[in-house]
């Protein structure tokens, strides 16, 4: 931090203000160019990755103990999908052709 050989001024000492021209040139050289970027999304992503989804997770797929509603909604959703699939596909299914399953007549060969 502090350089051991660094001379320390008395805190009460008023430091002469810098040369105004140097200061204005310094400010000119370091002025803001363009708007500051939006870093929030990047920060959230980094925190999500480093916390392995503990923070800024979507709260659904990455939660360690998903709430009961998650299971309930998932089950109902699956049932609804199955029901809709059945309703859509059942008219396409034809009725089976009847099969005659009577035994063929037996020809009895007379004995000679």
Partner 1 sequence: MADRRDDAAHPVYLQSGVTDAADQAERKFIERLAQRDERAFNELVELYEARVFRLLLRMLGRRDEAEDMAQEVFVQIFKAVGTFRGDSKLSTWIYRVSVNLCKNRMKYLSRRHTAGEDELEPVAERAPLDEAKGVTFGDVAQPDRLVEGYQMERVLQTCISELEPDFREVLILRDVEDLSYEELSEITGLPDGTVKSRLHRARAMLKASVERKMGEKIR
Q: How far apart are CA 17 and CA 26, in angstroms?
A: 14
Q: Give yes or no for residue 36 binding partner 1 (CB under 8 A).
A: yes
End-to-end C-alpha distance for the chain, whole angstroms: 126
Q: Give yes or no for residue 64 binding partner 1 (CB under 8 A).
A: no
Q: Give yes or no for residue 58 binding partner 1 (CB under 8 A).
A: no
Nearest to 77 by CA among 85, 65, 66: 85
DSSP code for 4: T
Q: Give yes or no for residue 37 binding partner 1 (CB under 8 A).
A: yes
Nearer to partner 1, 38 or 97 (CB): 38
Binding site for partner 1 (CB under 8 A): 1-3, 6-11, 13, 15-16, 18-19, 21-32, 35-40, 42-44, 46-47, 50, 55-56
């Amino acid at each position: 931090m502090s350089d051991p050989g660094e001379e320390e001024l008395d805190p009460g000492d008023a430091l002469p203000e810098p040369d105004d021209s140097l200061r204005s040139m310094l400010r000119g050289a370091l002025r803001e160019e363009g708007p500051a970027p939006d870093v929030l999304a990047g920060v959230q992503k980094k925190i999500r990755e480093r916390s392995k989804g503990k923070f800024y997770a979507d709260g659904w797929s990455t939660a360690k103990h998903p709430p009961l509603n998650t299971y309930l909604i998932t089950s109902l959703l699956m049932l609804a999908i199955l029901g809709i699939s059945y309703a859509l596909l059942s008219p396409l299914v034809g009725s089976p052709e009847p099969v005659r399953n009577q035994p063929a007549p037996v020809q009895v060969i007379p004995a000679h």
